Amino acid sequence: MDTIGHIKSVYVISPPDDIKLALPYNLEVLKRTFDVLNDGEIFEEKLLQEKIDNVFPSIDFMDIEEHSIFKSDGKISINKLTHRSKSILFELLDIDSVSCICEADLEEYDNSDFERRLELEIPIRYYNVAKMNQSLKGNKPYIIPDKAYSKELGLIASMIKEENFDFKYQLL
């Protein structure tokens, strides 16, 4: 490889101030990570463990047994015989990622194969698109206004509003 041994610039974006904007990541972990990445310095691999230790001074192990049926003492415990519509792991990790597509891509998405559909999908948090319509095809992505996505800036969640849809894509 022609890049081995060459120093390359890496751009790191500072973490947000709002905890919701940091999701699904822990805001304090993002801030500590940003703090250990010194601006303008060459990142040395030999210092990686030291940086990781500074970001994660202790590990909070979740008691997974609380959510399991088979206990370490050999007993079986079923707290409630109910259907779980969402994986307990998703709930514990606060994962709510869905996909969306731009309104101009809807027809192509609906008529494309699996691989092309994946290329058109944009990952996003559910709460950003909860009120938007969805395609009935593929992964059923939410449909967002074209104004909410820029090739230069990426996804602009604040532009995901009904009034930003282009009337030419609306059925009359």
- pLDDT of res. 149: 93
> Three-state DSSP class for 98?
strand
Confidence band, pLDDT 50/70/90 cuts, at residue 1: low
pLDDT at 158: 92
Give 122 or 95, the one with higher predicted confidence.
122
* Omega of the bond leading into 24 within 30 degrees of 0 (cis): yes
Write the pLDDT tens digit of every residue in 32-65: 999 999 888 888 878 888 888 888 887 665 555 6
Question: Higher confidence at residue 22 or residue 82?
Answer: 22
Q: What is the DSSP letter of 76?
A: B
| Token output for 119 | 């290329």
Q: What is the pLDDT of residues 9-25, one digit of tens each?
A: 888 889 999 998 888 78
172, pLDDT greater than 80? no
